[in-house]
């Protein structure tokens, strides 16, 4: 509580380039996030995250879409669960999608790897809340 | 009166007999056809419920007021027959308080030739007659019920394994009534794959005293295959051993087939419903993501005053284009249903291929794809031309789009007939797809699996909808890095005739 909340690095996994552009821009505007990393499908993200050379560049939060070619959001969640113990860092994952399918929403809500399901479009309030909860987590980790 | 020799009756005896007859609801009469003299015994009055003498004792009164008009002939018949073998008949007479009742009439003509004297006896048989009529009616109802409901009863004697069937069961077997039949013979009437069900049920009933109620396929003596229901209750002796199986046997063919049809309709509707729901989700998802992005960009455009505004506006234009594309995809899906009304035409496979290849000539040239088609086993089909062309177009586009980077695309197309079905297959040597991972999704809308700039996830969705709209089906086999084979069942002849 003594220091300024530090900016967090977000990782956005989505094949919709307009969305990725938008969320990056939004993060810039809020000024709460440092530059984001982007991947167009789950596989590319897993490749990056699981590479030990990137150990010092890991993001603080992940936003993942559901419908993507090659590796979709669900498959990413499963793969991420496997590599998670090796990362040495607790990275919360949010699922972000336009799907109104209750099955998708329910499945995301009960999945322990996923922090929450956010329906697109995402806005500044979402980002601020996530930022605050992240800083809470980080501080708690620091004090324990 | 003709009593045997050695038995003599006195005058007093006559009185005894009359008194006896009076007590058994019977009456005696005499009638002289010449002088019309009529005599009735006391019993005659009492059997009709009257006091003695209360009725006018005339032939006319009896004939016109007491005898039921429809039974006049029956009564006269007993009188006109010759005297040696009297005829009895059953007639209805009007009683004082009980309405018309049934009586038995016996009449004789006098033995002496010079007189026209008739005499006879009437006996009240109403209770007997009514019982008899009721029994007849009941029997009639019973047998009719069995015949109409196509249901009968059976019994199996456990000790000698003989089967007893009612007439109605023989009728269902289409066997002559009464043909002796053993248990094994009876079981052989069931269809082969249902025999063990019946045999096991019977054994369990005998050994474990378990009742059963099964619906199975049955082949009658005249080779008609029908659904039957057999229900059984074991009858046990004092020691708890099953000694007899008793049950019903019913032809439930019509109702069962209706049920099965209904079930398949329900499954089909269920399937359609699920797909429709899925479609709604897809559409909503797709429109939402465009709408969301648009709101997103407009918001940024308003808040951002930097040089990025041009880029943001560029994205807004892209979204506008995507929205139009999505709308045209929706139009295409909706058109599948309306195109059905265009009707079937005989189309040659080779013409459809030529048309599609003309439309795709740029793609084919650029990819140097080789198309190897063999339509010799089935050259043409009655189909909706637009669908068939679209199927060719989508399948070829798909094969070229997902070609293997290390080889030129080769597409093998074949048509053939098998089991009354017309098939069309497309086999490529492309990237292939992991079906364990993606399975049914590959025919879903906006489902893409490869990172390809042109992947839209609409082609296979449309193809499947067109094929299924005409009662066909589409299947896929694929090996990653080896290629993909689509097998399309276009027409099932039985469906179309």
DSSP-assigned states of every residue in B446-462: T---S--TT--S-HHHH
Q: Find the CB nearest A69 among B292, B319, B449.
A: B449
Is A69 close to B286, i.e. CB distance below 8 A? no
Q: Which residues in chain B are contacts of A40 at CB distance < 8 A?
A: 451
Q: Which two tokens stand for residue B486?
A: 């689509």
Q: Is residue A39 part of a domain?
A: yes
Q: Which residues in chain A are contacts of B446 at CB distance < 8 A?
A: 67
pLDDT at A67: 81
| B165 and B108 within one domain | no
| B277 and B154 within one domain | no
- The residues pairing with B250 across neighbouring beta strands, listed in sequence order, are B151, B229
Name which of A14, A21, A41, A76 to mutate to probe chain B: the one with the most chain B Cβ atoms within 10 A of its Cβ: A21
pLDDT at B144: 85
Closest-CA residue to B379 (of B408, B403, B413): B413
Residue B491, domain CATH: 3.30.565.10
pLDDT in tens, A10-20: 899 998 888 88
| B114 and B174 within one domain | no
Q: Is residue B135 part of a domain?
A: no
Q: Which two tokens stand for residue A130?
A: 């996530």
Q: How many domains does chain B have?
A: 4
Residue of B nearest to A72 (CA): B449
Three-state secondary structure call for residue B127:
helix
Q: Which residues in chain B are contacts of A122 at CB distance < 8 A?
A: 296
Q: Is residue A102 part of a domain?
A: yes
Name which of B279, B282, B292 to mutate to probe chain A: the one with the most chain A Cβ atoms within 10 A of its Cβ: B292
Name which of A24, A40, A67 to mutate to probe chain B: the one with the most chain B Cβ atoms within 10 A of its Cβ: A67
Q: Which residues in chain B are contacts of A123 at CB distance < 8 A?
A: 299
Three-state secondary structure call for residue B190:
strand
How far, in whole angstroms, is CA B269 from its chain's centroid? 20
Is the CB of A30 inside 8 Å of chain B's CB atoms?
A: no
Three-state secondary structure call for residue B16:
helix
Q: Which residues in chain A are contacts of B447 at CB distance < 8 A?
A: 67
| B491 and B374 within one domain | yes
- The per-residue b/e assignment along B214-247, b for 16 or more CB within 10 angstroms, e otherwise, is ebbbbbbeeeeebbbbbebbbeeeeeeebebbeb
Three-state secondary structure call for residue B380:
strand
Q: How far is residue B189 from each of residues B151, B163, B175, B211, B328, measured CA to CA in Å?
A: 17, 13, 11, 21, 59
Name which of B280, B291, B299, B305 to mutate to probe chain A: the one with the most chain A Cβ atoms within 10 A of its Cβ: B299
Prior bond to A121 cis, omega within 30? Answer: yes
Domain boundary residue, one of B251, B268, B291 = B251
Q: Is residue A78 part of a domain?
A: yes
Residue of A nearest to B298 (CA): A22
Q: Is residue B451 part of a domain?
A: yes
pLDDT at B494: 52
| B487 and B362 within one domain | yes
Is B296 close to A40, i.e. CB distance below 8 A? no
Closest-CA residue to B200 (of B188, B186, B212): B212
Closest chain B C-alpha to A137 CA, distance in angstroms: 29
Q: Is residue B445 part of a domain?
A: yes
pLDDT at B449: 59
Angle at A82 (CA atoms; ends B433, A56), nearest 5 degrees: 110
Closest chain A C-alpha to B394 CA, distance in angstroms: 19
Q: Is residue A82 part of a domain?
A: yes
Is B315 close to A16, i.e. CB distance below 8 A? no
| Neighbouring residues of B273: CB distance < 8 A, sequence distance ≥ 6 | none
Q: Is residue A112 part of a domain?
A: yes
pLDDT at B292: 82
The residue with tokens 């700039």 is B453
Three-state secondary structure call for residue B436:
helix
Closest-CA residue to B91 (of B64, B107, B73, B65): B73
Residue spans of chain A under pLDDT 50? 1-3, 139-144
- The residues pairing with B182 across neighbouring beta strands, listed in sequence order, are B162
Domain boundary residue, one of B337, B370, B396 = B337
| B281 and B215 within one domain | no
Are the CB atoms for A12 and A75 separated by under 8 Å?
A: no
Is A26 close to B296, i.e. CB distance below 8 A? yes
Phi, psi of B115 (to 5 degrees): -105, 155
Query: What domain range is A98 assigned to?
Result: 8-143
Contacts 24+ apart (CB under 8 A), B126-135: B126/B98, B126/B101, B126/B102, B128/B102, B129/B90, B129/B102, B130/B102
Closest-CA residue to A71 (of A52, A93, A45): A45
| B447 and B419 within one domain | yes
Pairing label, strands B410-418, B380-383 = unpaired
Q: Which residues in chain B are contacts of A69 at CB distance < 8 A?
A: 448-452, 455
| B308 and B173 within one domain | no
Are the CB atoms for B432 and B483 separated by under 8 Å?
A: yes
Q: How many domains does chain A have?
A: 1
Q: Is residue B143 part of a domain?
A: no
Are the CB atoms for B41 and B27 separated by under 8 Å?
A: yes
| B118 and B18 within one domain | yes
pLDDT at A143: 40
| B158 and B80 within one domain | no
Q: Give the whole-angstrom CA distance, residue B293 versus residue B286.
A: 11
Reported ipTM: the value is 0.70
Q: Is residue B236 part of a domain?
A: yes
| B409 and B331 within one domain | no
Q: Is residue A3 part of a domain?
A: no
Q: How far is residue B18 from each of residues A1, B13, B390, measured CA to CA in Å?
A: 132, 9, 107
Q: Is residue A77 part of a domain?
A: yes
Are the CB atoms for B496 and B382 separated by under 8 Å?
A: yes
Residue B76, domain CATH: 3.30.450.20
Q: Is residue B130 part of a domain?
A: no
Query: What domain range is B298 assigned to?
Result: 260-337
Is A99 close to B281, i.e. CB distance below 8 A? yes
Q: Give the whole-angstrom CA distance, residue A30 versus residue B303.
A: 11
A-B Cβ pairs (cutoff 8 Å, strict): 69
Q: Is residue B67 part of a domain?
A: yes
Domain boundary residue, one of B231, B251, B271 = B251
pLDDT at B249: 95
Residue A116, domain CATH: 3.40.50.2300
| B475 and B373 within one domain | yes
Closest-CA residue to B388 (of B417, B359, B352, B412): B352
Q: Is residue A74 part of a domain?
A: yes
Going residue by residue through chain B, which has 497 residues, state the pLDDT in tens, using 9 for 90 and above.
Answer: 445 555 667 777 878 887 888 888 889 888 888 888 898 988 899 899 999 888 899 988 998 999 999 998 888 877 665 556 667 889 999 999 889 999 999 888 776 666 678 888 899 999 999 999 999 988 888 888 888 888 999 999 998 888 999 999 999 999 999 899 999 999 999 999 999 999 999 999 999 999 999 999 999 999 999 999 999 999 999 998 999 999 999 999 999 999 999 998 898 888 778 777 777 777 777 787 788 888 888 888 887 666 678 888 888 888 888 888 878 877 877 777 777 777 788 889 999 899 888 888 888 888 899 999 999 999 989 888 888 888 998 899 888 888 898 999 999 999 999 988 899 999 999 888 887 777 667 776 666 656 655 556 677 888 888 888 888 888 889 888 889 999 999 887 654 43
Q: How far is residue B13 from each of residues B3, B18, B106, B402, measured CA to CA in Å?
A: 12, 9, 22, 123
Torsion, Cα B261 B266 B269 B270, to 10 degrees, reads -150
Is the CB of B279 inside 8 Å of chain A's CB atoms?
A: no
| Neighbouring residues of A96: CB distance < 8 A, sequence distance ≥ 6 | A14, A63, A64, A65, A117, A118, A119, A120, A122
Q: Is residue B175 part of a domain?
A: yes
Is the CB of A78 inside 8 Å of chain B's CB atoms?
A: no
């Amino acid at each position: 509580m003594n220091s300024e909340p530090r900016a967090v690095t977000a990782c956005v996994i989505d094949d919709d380039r307009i969305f990725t552009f938008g969320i990056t821009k939004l993060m810039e505007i809020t000024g709460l996030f440092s530059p984001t990393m982007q991947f167009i499908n789950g596989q590319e993200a897993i490749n990056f995250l699981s590479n030990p050379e990137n150990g010092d560049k890991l993001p603080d939060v992940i936003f993942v879409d559901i419908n993507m070619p090659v590796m979709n959001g669900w498959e990413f969640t499963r793969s991420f669960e496997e590599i998670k113990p090796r990362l040495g860092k607790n990275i919360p994952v949010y699922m972000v999608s336009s799907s109104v399918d209750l099955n998708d929403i329910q499945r995301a809500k009960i999945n322990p790897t996923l922090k929450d399901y956010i329906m697109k479009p995402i806005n500044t309030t979402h980002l601020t809340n996530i930022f605050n909860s992240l800083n809470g987590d980080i501080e708690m980790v620091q004090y324990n | 009166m003709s009593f045997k020799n050695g038995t003599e009756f006195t005058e007093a005896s006559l009185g005894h007999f009359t008194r006896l007859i009076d007590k058994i609801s019977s009456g005696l009469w005499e009638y002289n056809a010449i002088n019309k003299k009529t005599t009735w015994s006391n019993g005659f009055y009492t059997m009709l419920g009257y006091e003695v003498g209360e009725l006018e004792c005339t032939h006319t009164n009896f004939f016109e007021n007491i005898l039921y008009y429809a039974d006049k002939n029956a009564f006269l018949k007993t009188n006109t027959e010759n005297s040696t073998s009297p005829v009895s008949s059953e007639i209805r007479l009007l009683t004082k308080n009980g309405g018309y009742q049934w009586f038995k009439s016996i009449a004789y003509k006098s033995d002496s030739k010079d007189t026209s004297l008739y005499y006879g006896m009437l006996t009240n048989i109403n209770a007997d007659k009514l019982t008899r009529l009721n029994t007849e009616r009941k029997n009639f109802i019973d047998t009719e019920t069995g015949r109409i409901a196509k249901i009968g009863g059976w019994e199996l004697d456990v000790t000698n394994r003989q089967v007893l069937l009612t007439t109605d069961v023989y009728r269902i077997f289409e066997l002559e009534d009464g043909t002796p039949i053993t248990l094994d013979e009876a079981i052989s009437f069931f269809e082969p794959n249902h025999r063990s069900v019946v045999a096991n049920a019977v054994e369990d009933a005998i050994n474990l005293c378990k009742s059963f109620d099964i619906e199975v396929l049955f082949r009658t003596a005249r080779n008609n295959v029908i659904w039957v229901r057999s229900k059984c209750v074991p009858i046990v002796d004092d020691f708890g051993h099953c000694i007899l199986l008793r049950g019903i046997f019913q032809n439930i063919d019509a109702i069962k087939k209706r049920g099965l049809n209904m079930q398949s309709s329900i499954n089909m509707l269920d399937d359609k419903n699920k797909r429709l729901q899925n479609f709604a989700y897809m559409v909503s998802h797709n429109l939402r993501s465009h709408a969301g992005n648009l709101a997103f960009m407009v918001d940024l455009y308003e808040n951002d005053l930097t040089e990025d505004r041009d880029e943001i506006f560029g994205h807004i234009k892209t979204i506008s284009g995507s929205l139009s594309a999505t709308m045209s995809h929706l139009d295409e899906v909706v058109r599948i249903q309306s195109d059905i009304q265009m009707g079937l035409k005989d189309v040659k496979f080779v013409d459809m291929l030529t048309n599609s290849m003309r439309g795709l000539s740029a793609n084919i040239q650029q990819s140097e794809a080789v198309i190897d088609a063999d339509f010799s086993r089935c050259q043409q089909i009655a189909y909706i031309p637009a669908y068939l062309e679209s199927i060719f177009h989508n399948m070829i586009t798909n094969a070229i789009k997902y070609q293997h980077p290390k080889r030129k695309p080769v597409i093998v197309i074949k048509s053939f007939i098998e089991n009354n079905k017309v098939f069309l297959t497309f086999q490529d040597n492309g990237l292939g797809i992991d079906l364990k991972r993606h399975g049914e999704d590959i025919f879903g809308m906006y489902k893409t699996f490869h990172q390809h700039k042109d992947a839209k996830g609409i082609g296979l969705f449309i193809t499947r909808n067109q094929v299924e709209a005409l009662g066909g089906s589409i299947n896929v086999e694929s090996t990653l890095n080896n290629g993909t084979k689509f097998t399309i069942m276009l027409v099932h002849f039985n469906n179309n005739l």
